[in-house]
Structure 1
Amino acid sequence: MDPQQILLKHFEAVGGLDRLKSIKSGYAEGKNTFDGLEGTFRNWEETPLKYRLEEDYNVIKQSFGDNGKQSWSVDPNGKVQIHRDEETLKRRKVKALLEVYDHARPDTRNFIFRYNGEKKIGEVNCQVVEMSNVINDDIIFFFFNKENHYIVKTIVKQPDFEIRTLFSDYRNINGIIHPFHEDTEIFPREKKETIQLTRYDFNVKINSTVFEPPEKDVEDFEFENGENSENIPFYFVENNIYLYVTINGEKRLWLLDNGASMSIIDADYVKTLGLKPEGEIKGLGIASVFDLSFVTFPPYRVGAIRFNPQKIFSYKGLSNKLYDSAVVGILGHDFLSRFVVKIDYASKALSLYHPDKFKYKGSGKIIDAPLRDKIFAVPVIVDDKYKGKWTLDIGAFDMSFNYPYAKDNNLLGLKGLERVSADLGGQHAEKTVRFKSVELGGYKLLNPLINIPEIKGKGSNYSREIVGNMGNNLLRHFVIYLDYKRQQVIVEKGKDFEKNFAEDKSGLLIGTGADGFPEIVFVASETPASKAGFTGSDIIRKINGVNVDSLGGADGVRALLSKEEGTEYNIEVLHDGNIMEFKLVLKDLYKQR
C-alpha cells in the first residue's frame, strides 16, 4: 500500500489538490474550551506562514501570530514575546513546505511516509499513514476514513509531548470539505481543548497589519526613581531567592522564579485580600501537572517599583508546597519579563533596569538565549562531554538532567544520594551525583552536584529538546543578567565563584512547619539521618539541649547539618505526638559515591 497515494485520495475527497492549492487565505471563528476555560476565538491565515489567533476566555485573553518573518505571542497581561528558539524556527520551515503541498509531490525530499496498516477509531475503519520530515523530529500519524478518505484523527508526536486530535462535523464550504469540530488532548500534560467553528471562509482579503505583533510592549510598572531600581535586598535560603512584596500596605515574602510562566499566589492568602479565583487550567511542574485558577492581583510594589493590577494564578496550598508558611506567592514571568534583571548572589541584591534604557558595560559573557516556553535556554557542558541547551531557572534549588537525556546517555545507572525535589505537583524522586565539571559561558566550575531523575515524569523533565534544568546551586557562583527583550543572558564571575559551599551531611530535608518549627520533609536512605531513626514529619524542637528558635529556626538547623564531618548532635523531635531524642553524626554523603 502506497501511503502517499492514500494522502492524495484524501486531498481529492476534500476538494481536489488544485483547489486546495488555490486557497491563499482564510478566516475562522467559533467557540472553544481549554481545560476548565470556555471562550471564543478568531483566526486569520494567509500564505506564506502568516496567521493571527485571538482567544477570549472572559477570565483571560491572549493572542498568537506570525507576520511571515517571525512568530509572536501576547500573554494575558499584554506581554509581547518574539519566538526565535531553534524548534520554533524548524517548525516554521516545515509549515512553509506543507502550505505549498510539498508533501503531495511524488519526488518530495522533505517528507518520508510509511503505511502503518488499518485501525478502528470508534466504529470507523481507518488507514494509518505516518509522515516524518528531514527538518525536525516531529512525526504525524494520519487516520484516514477508509470509505470517504476524510481525516478522522491525527497524532502529532513532538519530542516533549503528543497531541491527539479527533475531527468531525465535516461541512462543504464552496466545494471544500472542512471539519467544524475538533477534540484535542495533549499528553502527558493532561490538557484538553475543544474547537467548534461557527464560521469558515477562504480566499478573503486581510489587511496585512493583522499579522503584525503590537508595536508597543506592555509597560504596567513605574520606577519611583528614574530608570531602574538597584540593589533590592533578597533572602537567599536553601538556594531559593525570596523578596518582600507590598500589597495594601502589607509586606509578605514571595519566591522569585523565572520558571513560573505566570506569577502565583496562595489561595488562602487570596481570601484575606478579598479576591475571587476564576476559571481552571492545568499547570506544568518539573515532573507533574497540577490545577490552577486565576485572580486579578491588585496593585503591588517591589523595591522602588509600583505595578498595576495583573492576572496571576491562584493555587491552593502553595505555602505548604514551598515548605514555609511565611511565603505567600511566586513572582514569575509577569514580574521579571518587564526588565533586565541583575542578580548578584554573593551580595544578595536584585537590580531591575528598564530594557529600553539598559546598556551593559561589564566584561562578562553575553550568551544568546532564545526564550523557550518563557524561560531562557543556554548552552552548558558537563564533564567536557555532555553538551546541549539547559533551561536557566532561578526558582530551582539545584541542577538536574532531564530524564530522556539521562536515559539516552546512560546516566540513570550512576550511584548517587537519594533525595526528593518538590514543586506544585508534588514530590518526585531523584538522586544526586558528583560530576567532574560544569561549564557555563566559558566559565568552568569543578565537582558540581547534579540530580538525575529516578522516573520519567509528566512535567518539564520529560523534555527531549532540553538537556536539563540549571538552578541556583550553580548560579550562586555568578552575577547573572536576564535580558528578556534581547533574549540574552549575561554571566559574570561572582565574588563566590571560587567558594566551596557547605553541603548537607545528614540526609535530612528540612522545611518550616505550620507552627514555625523546623519539620523533617524527607529522610534519604543510607545516611546518618536514616540510621539514627528520623522519619518524615518529625518536628525538631531542640539540638544539644538548645531550643531551635534560639538557633535561628529551620535556617539555623540547616547550617548546623552542614558542619564538619564527624560533628555530633543530640536532636529532640516530636514524633507522632511523643518527644524522642536521636543522636546524629555528620558524614560526607558524596565521598564514596
Structure 2
Amino acid sequence: MKSILRLIKIFSARIILLLSVICLFLQSPVQAQTFNFDGDREKEVMDFQLIKNLIIIPLYINGKGPYNFVLDTGVSPMIISDPSIIDSLNLGPLRVTKLSGLGAGNDVEAYLTDQIYVRIGHSTISNIPTAILKEDLFNLSSYLGTRIYGLIGYYFFNSFVVKIKYPAKRLFFSLPETRVKKKGERIPLEMISNKPYIKATVNPAGLEPFEAKLILDIGASHAISMESYQDKPFPLPAKTISANLGVGFTGLISGHIGRINSLKIGSTQFNNVLSSFPDYEEAAAKTMLKERNGNLGSNVMKHFDITFDYADFCVYLKPNKFYKRTFEHDMAGMEVYIETGKPNHYLVGRIEPGSPAEEADFHSQDELLSINFKLIQEYSLDDVDMLLKSGNGRRLIIEIGRGKERLYKLVILRRRV
C-alpha cells in the first residue's frame, strides 16, 4: 500500500523520460522500422479512450492482447511499464540496463529488446525498440482507473500523418504519401532525440514575454510545465501552491503549481494558464537539452484538432469546441486513485496542506463510497477528477469509509491558484 500511495502522487500522468542509455540501443538498424498497413490500405480511423487528458489505445503485442497503452509524443522507444506480461510474449534472452531520469532517487533497471511485434488497428511493426521496466514504477492503472501496460510514441507518429480529434475521441492515421486534407494553422516542429519541440510565446508574471522552446507532449496530462529560464530555475509567480508534480524514472518530482499570464501558439492565445514549476534539480538540471524551457501537455493540446506530420516537420492546429474551456486545478486538494477489484475501491491518496479536503478532515486511505448521494461505482475515475475541479464554491457531500465507520463530509471547493 505504501508503494501505491507514493506512486499515485501524480499531477502529470506522463512519465518524463530521459533515456540516455536507450539512445545507444536505438542506433541499431531497427531504428528505421515503421508501421505499415495490411494489403493496400492507406489510412485508418479508430476510437480512443480519453482519461485525464490522456489518449488510451489498444495494442496487440506478439499476437497477444489487447493491451491499453498511452499514446505519447514524449517517448521514443516503446515503454512497457507493467512487466507482468513478459512471460506471455515468448521473448528470448533480454538485455538489462539502468535508466536515468527525472526525479529524486537512483537509476532503475529495465530490459531492452527488439523482439517485439506490435499491431495497432490494421497496421503492424516488427522489431520495435522497447524498454520493459523490471518493476511497475508508475502504477498508471491506479491513476487512470483502467489497466495500462505502457506508452508508445515516436515509431507510430513517424510512420503516419496522425490526426487527433479530442472531442470526438477519434484517431485518424494515414501513410505520409496519402493525400489528406490538413486543416488548421501550420506550426513548425523541431525533432530532437525523436521528440517534437515547438516554439511558443510565454508571458509569465514578473517577466517580459519570451519565445519558449517546449517539448510537445500529449502524454503529459498537465497544461504546461515551466522548467528553466536562461538555464536557471524558472521564477515562480507570486501565488503558488506546493505540489508533487509527477513521477520520473528515479522518483517523485516536487515543485509548485501556479499560473502564467498567457501562452501563444502560432496565432492562438490562451490566458491565465495553469502551470507547474518543477524543482530545478529534479527536472531541468537532469535534461540533456539545456535550451529547453519546458513541456507543453495535453491539457492545452486537447483544445485543438491536431494533425502531426513528422515527415514534413510540422503540426497543424485547429481550435475545437474545447477551446474556451478554462484551466483548473483540483479544488478539493486531495488525490483519488483506484485499487482494482470486484468492485473497484476509490481511495484517497495525498491531501494537500491547507486545502478544503484537509479542512473537512479527510485522511489518506479513506475510501469514497458516494458523492452527492450517488454511489461511487456510478462514477469513473475521470468523473471524480472533473467533479473536484468543477467550480469555485461548489459544495460536495462525500460519504467515506474509514475502518468500520461511515462518515459524511461536506467539501466546499476552492480555487487555490
Specify which of 311, 319, 323 is matched with residue 497 of structure 1.
Answer: 323
Shift of 1:395: 0.5
User: RMSD value over aligned CA atoms?
Assistant: 3.1
Task: Say whether 1:435 aligns with 2:260.
Answer: yes
Match of 1:237 among 51, 65, 68: 51
Provide the rounded CA distance (Å) in 2 between the counterparts of 1:406 and 1:483. 30
Name the residue aligned to 1:269: 85
Residue 379 of structure 2 corresponds to which residue in structure 1? 551
Alignment of 1:198-209 (within 5 A): none
Residue 273 of structure 1 and its aligned partner are, at CA, apart by 3.4
SS of residue in 2 equivalent to 1:485: helix
Aligned partner of 1:532 in structure 2 is: 360
* 1:77 and 2:30 are equivalent in the alignment: yes
1:517 aligns with 2:332: no
SS class of match (1:334): helix
Give the conservation status (yes or no) of the 8 Å contact 2:34–2:156. Answer: no
Q: Indicate which of 121, 141, 166 corresponds to 1:303.
A: 121
Structure of larger gyration radius: 1
Q: What is the alpha-carbon distance in structure 2 between the residues aligned to residue 469 and residue 36 of structure 1?
A: 22
1:541 alignment counterpart? 369
Cα separation, partners in 2 of 1:519 and 1:273, compared to 1, 3 Å: farther
TM-aligned CA deviation for residue 470 of structure 1? 0.2
* 1:393–1:410 CA distance, 2 compared to 1 (3 A): closer
Task: Pick the aligned partner of 1:250 from 65, 68, 71.
Answer: 65
Whole-Å separation in 2 of the counterparts to 1:261 and 1:580? 47
Report percent identity of matched pairs.
Answer: 23
Work out whether residues 570 and 581 of structure 1, in 8 Å CA contact, stay in contact via their aligned partners in 2: no
Displacement of 1:506:
0.9
Residues 268, 287 of structure 1: alpha-carbon distance in 2 compared, 3 angstrom cutoff = same
Paired residues for 1:122-271 under 5 Å: 218-223=33-38, 226-230=41-45, 232-247=46-61, 248=63, 250-265=65-80, 266-271=82-87
What is the CA–CA distance in structure 2 between the aligned matches of 1:321 and 1:273, rounded to whole Å?
21
The match for 1:379 among 199, 203, 207 is 199
Question: Displaced runs of 4+ in structure 1, greater than 6 A?
Answer: 34-37
Structure 1 segment 559-578 matched on structure 2, within 5 A: 559-575=386-402, 577-578=403-404
- Work out the CA distance in 2 between the residues paired with 1:587 and 1:563: 8
1:392 aligns with 2:216: yes
Query: TM-score when scaled to structure 2?
Result: 0.81
Structure with the bigger percentage of strand: 1
Worse-matched range after superposition: 237-246 or 410-419: 410-419
Q: C-alpha displacement at 1:221, in angstroms?
A: 2.4
Kept in 2: contact 1:433–1:449 (CA 8 A): yes
CA distance in 1, matches of 2:180, 2:335: 41
After TM superposition, the structure 1 = structure 2 runs for residues 569-588 of structure 1, keeping only pairs within 5 Å, are 569-575=396-402, 577-579=403-405, 581=407, 583-588=409-414
Asked if 2 retains the 8 angstrom alpha-carbon contact of 1:381 and 1:387, the reply is: yes
Partner of 1:482: 308
Q: Distance in 2 between matches of 1:318 and 1:275?
A: 22
- The answer on whether the counterparts of 2:114 and 2:129 sit within 8 Å (CA) in structure 1 is yes
Give the Å deviation of 1:461. Answer: 6.6
Aligned length: 384
What is the Cα deviation at residue 559 of structure 1? 2.8
Asked if the contact 2:397/2:410 (under 8 Å) is kept, the reply is yes
- Distance in structure 1 (CA, Å) of the matches to 2:103 and 2:176: 33
Q: What per-residue deviation string (whole Å, max 9, x for no partner) do you get for residues 46-89 of structure 1?
A: xxxxxxxx97xxxx5x54xxxxxxxxxxx56322xxxxxxxxxx
Determine if contact 2:397/2:408 at 8 Å carries over to the other structure. Answer: yes
Give the TM-score, by structure 1 length.
Answer: 0.58
Q: Which residue is equivalent to 2:185?
A: 365
Q: In 1, are the aligned partners of 2:369 and 2:376 still within 8 Å (CA)? A: yes
C-alpha separation in 2, matches of 1:391 and 1:238: 19
Tell me the SS of whatever aligns to 1:557: helix
Q: How far did 1:419 drift?
A: 2.4
Residue matched to 2:130? 312
Q: Any unmatched runs of 5+ in structure 1? A: 1-33, 38-53, 64-74, 80-217
- State the one-letter code of the partner of 1:485: A
C-alpha distance in 2 between matches for 1:579 and 1:372: 54
The 1:35–1:451 alpha-carbon spacing in structure 2 relative to 1, beyond 3 Å, is closer
CA shift for structure 1 position 359? 5.0
- 1:281-292 matched pairs, under 5 angstroms: 281-287=97-103, 290-292=108-110
User: Contact 1:510/1:521 (CA < 8 Å) preserved in 2?
Assistant: yes
Shift of 1:284: 4.9
Aligned-partner Cα distance in 1 for 2:261–2:101: 28
In structure 1, distance between residues paired with 2:405 and 2:290: 48
Separation of aligned partners in 1, 2:258 and 2:236 = 10
For each residue in 1:211-265, what CA deviation from the matched residue of structure 2 results, as whole angstroms up to 9, or x when unmatched?
A: xxxxxxx3442246621113x1111111111111234353221111111121111
| Alignment-derived partner of residue 421 in structure 1 | 245
CA deviation vs aligned residue, 1:11-46 (integer Å, no higher than 9, x gap): xxxxxxxxxxxxxxxxxxxxxxx9999xxxxxxxxx
The correspondence for 1:327, drawn from 129, 135, 148, is 148
Say whether 1:454 aligns with 2:273.
no
Counterparts of 2:410 and 2:152 in 1: how far apart (Å)? 37
Q: How far apart are the structure 1 equivalents of 2:415 and 2:93?
A: 44
